[in-house]
Structure 1
């Protein structure tokens, strides 16, 4: 079920993006608008549908872990692969605005997790922030075409789709259906794995589900890197991380408010954020990995004006380390005993 869900999510996500982009081009919508909206939103649809399905099934750990894990995977895995394929030449000026928004969104996510602020009101606020960010970006880029506008336009140009309107709509609908059914298989299979092997649903969401829903970003970034447009891969990752936090968690909380805290029972997992009689589904280690991944990306992007292959290798090594720690394959001494 998990493998089938991953395949359907990947193929369906690709079909949804290509079909939508094709229709947009036939309607003479600019590549700038396509890159800012359809590509960014389209590659995040698998995460959105999966999180909605997980919340509807009562698997909050999978829903929230999916978003956090996807953002970690986008930076350490996807960006690492793209940089290893082709060094990424960065333009700090072009990245400043979107990177700033991504950092603020990441800090906001950490704040919301700590205080468990996933009410319907919070979902509305996040969704409004995303819409405001898109509108501001479109107006700013169209009124003053610069490096930022050029980068977003290139994001749209990386998608090869030139079908007729009818064929494009059909491909998009079939792709969306594939994503919806793939998300069902992925969530149901992940819940079964968690129960059968005694692994928490949050860990499954942070790893298997997150990697699976990040496949569209991985495909888009790898293709851009092979074509020598690795800077587009970086812009795509930044945009995807913003969409994941503001859009996916926003819409999910709007549709079905949830809590990331649960009553403390038995032994508390190492790194769990305990407050009173409840503990967060997301550990200190997960939050730390999210913040460190963003910090590494920003550091590598602004220091030498490029992210080289060795830096891509460090990102991949970091992801392997995170996976090892998450599945407890790497022993870590308890320097600070719990309690």
Structure 2
């Protein structure tokens, strides 16, 4: 089915676009209602799945190309690892939340950022711990956790009025610059127990490539990132409308899980290499980027307002999942380790949260 025809069915049969005249489903290509419904749902699910695949692929191409360009400009591998590669895992969240804010669906923009952080801890970190117990007791992680909690509190203070203004977004982006500068300083002055992180930051930089190829991958990745983000947001809004659930819940669930899949792949790859400590560091870094960069860019480009009742619930749950890292790692069981049973608890808690979200819509 061609995309134009598919959009005609969505806009006419479901009337999800504002300002469109509703069309009865049996007048759209003369398809009966009982046959159109499963076709629409299947098309939306396929579109969302393909959107996630395109997001992940284009983010990798963009990171590869821009990293190679930075190398040609003389930027150090460590700095590239901290910035281009570090932010690269959050590129899907950044683009989706920004496009959602521009399209007038703040629920998806906010839900994606918060939901990705919840998924990072409950689903990604929990699943990774089920594969292999994780070490979380290094000095750098002890420093990063207080920083992460400070950012959680500061971001919550900016959102407590029910708006993400342009000033709020700029403040969050300024905080992101400060965090990157701090991370660069820490990496340059790394002690022996932090050497693993510094080596991995440098080794994570993709292999060199010719300048022309680097420019091609950078441009191609960026174009497909933007296009796939728009398609994903459009399909997610349509699915929410069809299922009768809010944009916020779609952002907290399907969109958040999909954009967090790169972190899952990175986490499992780390533990298979025997570097479980790095997996925890990646999750904390991703959560920092999601709050500071994802919300910061969305707010700076397209400020929006949102329902505070949903924020109070989901922001509190996000904070609770993050605190669970410290409780499980330092107060329960073996100090400095996240065991398999603790990973199982995180996954079960995450699934229970997902069930709560959908139950609250019914």
TM-score interval, normalised by the smaller of the two chains: 0.7 to 0.9
CA distance in 1 between partners of 2:173 and 2:278 (Å)? 25
Deviation of the 1:205 alpha carbon:
0.4
Q: Give the secondary-structure state (helix, strand or coil) at the position aligned to 2:305.
A: coil
Corresponding residue SS for 1:282: helix
Could you say which residue in structure 1 is the equivalent of 2:359?
328
The alignment status of 1:212 with 2:237, answered yes or no, reads no
Name the count of aligned residue pairs.
313
SS at match of 1:328: helix
In the alignment, structure 1 residue 176 sits paired with structure 2 residue 206? no
- Mean alpha-carbon deviation: is it higher for 153-162 or for 66-75? 153-162
Q: Distance in 2 between matches of 1:98 and 1:37?
A: 16
Instruction: Name 1:287's counterpart in structure 2.
Output: 315
Please give the per-residue CA displacement for 1:178-216, whole angstroms capped at 9, x wherever unaligned: 221111111000110111111100000001111111122
1:53 equivalent in structure 2: 99
- SS at 1:115 equivalent: coil
For the residues of structure 2 that align with 1:25 and 1:252, how far apart are their CA atoms?
Answer: 29
Distance in 2 (CA, whole Å) between partners of 1:300 and 1:29 is 39
In the alignment, which of 25, 50, 68 is matched to residue 114 of structure 2?
68
Could you tell me how far apart the structure 2 residues matched to 1:145 and 1:18 are? 29
Aligned to 1:9: 55
Structure 2 stretches of 5 or more lacking a match?
Answer: 1-46
Instruction: Find out whether 1:126 has 2:166 as its counterpart.
Output: no
Structure 2 equivalent of residue 80 of structure 1: 126
In structure 1, what is the Cα distance between the partners aligned to 2:342 and 2:320? 14
Q: Note the C-alpha offset of 1:57.
A: 0.8
Among 291, 311, 319, the alignment partner of 2:342 is 311
Aligned to 2:28: none
Q: How far 1:135 moved relative to its partner?
A: 1.1
**Whole-angstrom CA distance in 1 between matches of 2:70 and 2:137:** 28
TM (norm. structure 2) is 0.80
Q: 1:244 to 1:149 in 2, by over 3 A?
A: farther
Alignment partner of 1:115 out of 161, 185, 194: 161
Counterparts of 1:120-269 in structure 2, within 5 Å, are 120-148=166-194, 150-158=196-204, 161-261=207-307
Separation in 1 of the partners of 2:313 and 2:61?
35
Q: Deviations over 1:112-132 (max 9, x none)?
A: 332224211111111111101
User: How much does 1:48 deviate?
Assistant: 0.8
Contact preservation (8 Å) 1:61, 1:281: no
Cα distance in structure 1, aligned partners of 2:199 and 2:84: 11
Kindly report the root-mean-square deviation, in angstroms, between the aligned alpha carbons of the 2 structures: 2.3
Task: Compute the TM-score of the two structures, normalised by the length of structure 1.
Answer: 0.85
Which is greater in Rg?
2
Shift of 1:18: 2.9
1:43 aligns with 2:89: yes
* Cα 1:125–1:283 shift into 2, 3 Å: closer
